[in-house]
Structure 1
Amino acid sequence: MKNIAIVFEDAEALVIDKPAGLSIDRPRKGGPALEDHFEQLRLGFQRDPVPVHRLDTDTSGCLLLARNPKALSRFGRAFEERVVEKRYLGVLAGVPDQTEGTIELALSKISSAEKGWRMIAAKKGKPSVTHWRMLQDVGGHALLEFLPETGRTHQIRIHALAGLGTALLGDPVYGNGKGAPRTMLHSAALTVPRAGKPPVAATAPLPADFAALGFTDG
């Protein structure tokens, strides 16, 4: 079992660079899951660390794990209160008309027997806000920085499609799934404030599959 890179560690928090393809929960059909790595990630502690938030299976990058129940509660509250700063990088299956902007689209979940469930932009949905700017344009694809204010399920993926008119490269749900072996989304940085302590602050380097497309983070 391949070791997972740890990009932040202290007595109450771990931030890992989650590989693309690793599920937070064990998939119903089986396959790799985060719990396969708990023994490595205990780092001498008796408790398994617990993920505080979610990343899609395809999404790589910064994932915060709490090392005790009190920390889990505090970190969870920080996400609920929207004081966590999150920076994502994503590759669009095209190039947007503008170079930066803010997407404000309410989101709602729908499901059907043939397509399963997905998120859609809907006026009666939950408010969702994502700030974005284009960093690079290579070979007809654009590397974007996404700064989400809210943390809705699939928020960046549906905002790319419904707000920018172009899905993320490789996205099989909101795009055509072509051009990349996975949905090209990466959690590049995470900052979680803590009362009386320095914040949890971590960055995860640009993945190899982003670099293979000709992109750099900077």
Structure 2
Amino acid sequence: MNYSAPLLLRSRCVHHQAVWSKARPLFREETSPNQRQRNSAGSSASVEKSSKKHSKFDFKNKKLVRNKPNDKAADEGGVLDKSNMNIRKRFRKTDVEINEVTAEKMVLYKDRDIIALNKPSGIAVHSGPKMKNDLSHYLHYWQESGHELPELAHRLDKDTSGVLLLTRHTDAARRLAQLFKERGIVKKYWTITFGVPDHLEGVIQIPLSTRNIAANGNMTRVVLRVDKMAAHNPSTVGKTLPGGVAMAETEYSVLSVCSLAPKRCCLMEVTPVTGFKHQIRVHLADGLTCPILGDHKFAGPVLRASPNLKKRVEAISKTSHLHLHAREIVIPGYLASTGKPLVIKAPLPGYFIKTSKEQGLHVNVS
């Protein structure tokens, strides 16, 4: 079911003009010579480290046949019937090694108040029932003597890579939390999708909620709630309505289109205006019918549209990685001397660059 035509706006949203609080002396910017040189040039602080491989990734792909429900009912917010739907799903085991050396290589930016990391794909941010290895277990690697243990300022999905912010004391945590709440911090993601949207840029304004999508009620998934579109307006954006309906909004812009037909894919920049669970993945897969490469959780309805579609997707992506990367974070009004924003970029992972080159996608890695 393609919702893209009636639910997209050609214009972009305007973010809240929230800035870093000036109630107390602002954070000191990075004091390295290179940083001072960048600041003196009058530019916003854009900090990006080289894309050297900082962790050891050990992948083992397996092919497994499992019963998979038909997602048609899920698209309509209904309950699924597990009817003889066997599809092949690729599983992987990812071992991300984090030690004192690799932890230091993950640091993109650091001052007395925050630390920005380049999180690798394959490690969860928070612990959970099925998570034996998560980033919260390694926060001591970024703790300095005499200072508090850093705290996570926000989260990324386990298989999403890119910029992740840590706070180094409670006051920084409070102010960052307020900026996130006011949607003052801008997060930009890069992704490679299978399929190209009808409009090369736009805003997806489709509510979301978590539903049981299996007849026995033991399978949940974030789904579109087109039936709640009437409640989506500027005053409700970012809110959760009764029944757990999230008023989600996502901006997107296509940066490059694959020229190697029939392998239709594109490089896209995505800016979530709101920050609900799995928002980007659901909006792209179900809203635009352009699922992210490597996203087997939300690509089901699209992949089953054609018997040969899954093979074509696997031909595009030689790796089972989720091709979703938190490319950039912008903190407004952060720098004390100029009042300019702090811009932190994370270099693209090797597999992301490799897939882009193989598909003829133009990627500016600077």
Same-fold call, TM cutoff 0.5: yes
Aligned to 1:186: 325
Q: 1:202-213 to 2 correspondence within 5 Å?
A: 202-213=344-355
TM-aligned CA distance change 1:37 to 1:80, over 3 Å: same
| 2:286 maps to which of 158, 162, 168 | 162
TM-aligned CA distance change 1:62 to 1:45, over 3 Å: farther
| 2:183 maps to which of 69, 74, 82 | 82
| 1:136 maps to which of 256, 275, 278 | 256
The count of aligned residue pairs is 218
Does residue 175 (structure 1) correspond to residue 322 (structure 2)? The answer is no
Does residue 71 (structure 1) correspond to residue 172 (structure 2)? The answer is yes
The answer as to whether partners of 1:8 and 1:201 remain within 8 angstroms in 2 is: no
- Structure (1/2) with the larger strand percentage: 1
Q: Report the Cα distance in structure 2 between the residues aligned to 1:142 and 1:23, rounded to whole angstroms.
A: 27
- Structure (1/2) with the larger helix percentage: 2
The answer as to whether partners of 2:331 and 2:342 remain within 8 angstroms in 1 is: yes
Aligned to 1:217: 364
Q: 1:27-38 to 2 correspondence within 5 Å?
A: 27-38=128-139
> Normalised by the size of structure 1, how large is the TM-score?
0.90
Q: Report the Cα distance in structure 2 between the residues aligned to 1:186 and 1:115, rounded to whole angstroms.
A: 30
State the AA in 2 paired with 1:184.
H
Aligned to 1:117: 220
Q: Report the Cα distance in structure 2 between the residues aligned to 1:115 and 1:96, rounded to whole angstroms.
A: 32
- Could you tell which deviates more after superposition, 13-22 or 190-199? 190-199
- Alpha-carbon offset, residue 39 of structure 1: 2.4
Does residue 20 (structure 1) correspond to residue 121 (structure 2)? The answer is yes
State the AA in 2 paired with 1:186.
H
The structure having more radius of gyration, on CA atoms, is 2
Q: Report the Cα distance in structure 2 between the residues aligned to 1:94 and 1:56, rounded to whole angstroms.
A: 22
State the AA in 2 paired with 1:174.
F
Gaps of at least 5 residues in structure 1 are: none
Q: Residues 34-65 of structure 1, C-alpha deviation per residue, up to 9 Å, x if partnerless? A: 03422221144532211111100000001111
- Alpha-carbon offset, residue 200 of structure 1: 4.1
Aligned to 2:159: 58
Aligned to 1:147: 271
- Could you tell which deviates more after superposition, 43-52 or 90-99? 43-52
Q: Report the Cα distance in structure 1 between the residues aligned to 2:219 and 2:117, rounded to whole angstroms.
A: 30
| 1:41 maps to which of 109, 134, 142 | 142
Gaps of at least 5 residues in structure 2 are: 1-96, 229-244, 301-309
- Alpha-carbon offset, residue 151 of structure 1: 0.7
- Could you tell which deviates more after superposition, 176-185 or 31-40? 176-185
Q: Report the Cα distance in structure 2 between the residues aligned to 1:12 and 1:166, rounded to whole angstroms.
A: 39
Higher relative contact order (CA 8 A, sep 6+): 2
Percent identity reads: 29
- The SS at the match of 2:116 is strand
State the AA in 2 paired with 1:70.
D
Q: Report the Cα distance in structure 1 between the residues aligned to 2:257 and 2:248, rounded to whole angstroms.
A: 26
- The SS at the match of 1:210 is helix
- Could you tell which deviates more after superposition, 162-171 or 132-141? 132-141
Alignment RMSD: 2.2
- Alpha-carbon offset, residue 128 of structure 1: 1.3
Q: Report the Cα distance in structure 2 between the residues aligned to 1:196 and 1:99, rounded to whole angstroms.
A: 34
> Normalised by the size of structure 2, how large is the TM-score?
0.55
